[in-house]
Amino acid sequence: MNARAGEDGMFERWSGRLFYRVFLPIAVVVNLGLGLVILTYLRPEGSLGWLEVTTGAFCCVVAGWLAASAWSKSYWGKAMARQITAWRQIADAIFTWLEEVPLPAESLQRLKRSLDEVYAPR
């Protein structure tokens, strides 16, 4: 069962990378291009003309939103990686210190079990 969970996690990572590296940039370019084409060729007359202008502007907004979501995922992913690295270094320092302090083995085993429960893959 754990092997299957690992395969699912690998598929999710692969599909996430595919989405953010291939589909999202294509979607941004298509939406921006569509919006600019619509806005370039318009000479709005009446309510239908302004509806076309609104449609073109909406396409540009969607392109901007998609680009912002890709940037946000990239930025926060890197920020999370930095935080994980920092916390791992802190935990390593604490465990190095704990190894030098005389503590009962039972207390260390309870601490290890607690950490394993928190860190267990879901």
- CB-side neighbour CA atoms (13 Å) of 41: 7
Answer for the pair 62, 29: CB distance below 8 angstroms, yes or no.
no
Using the Cα atoms of residue 74, residue 79, residue 84 and residue 89 in order, give the sign of their dihedral.
Answer: positive
Model's pTM, two decimal places?
0.48
**Non-local CB neighbours of 58 within 8 Å, separated by 6+ positions:** 35
- What parts of the chain have a pLDDT lower than 50? 1-2
Q: What is the pLDDT of residues 62-79, one digit of tens each?
A: 888 888 888 888 888 888
Answer for the pair 77, 56: CB distance below 8 angstroms, yes or no.
no
Domain ranges of the chain: 2-119
Q: What is the pLDDT of residues 45-66, one digit of tens each?
A: 888 888 888 888 888 888 888 8
SS3 per-residue string spanning 5-53: HHHHHHHHHHHHHHHHHHHHHHHHHHHHHHHHHHHHCCCCCHHHHHHHH
Per-residue model confidence (pLDDT) at position 25: 79
Per-residue model confidence (pLDDT) at position 1: 45
Per-residue model confidence (pLDDT) at position 8: 57
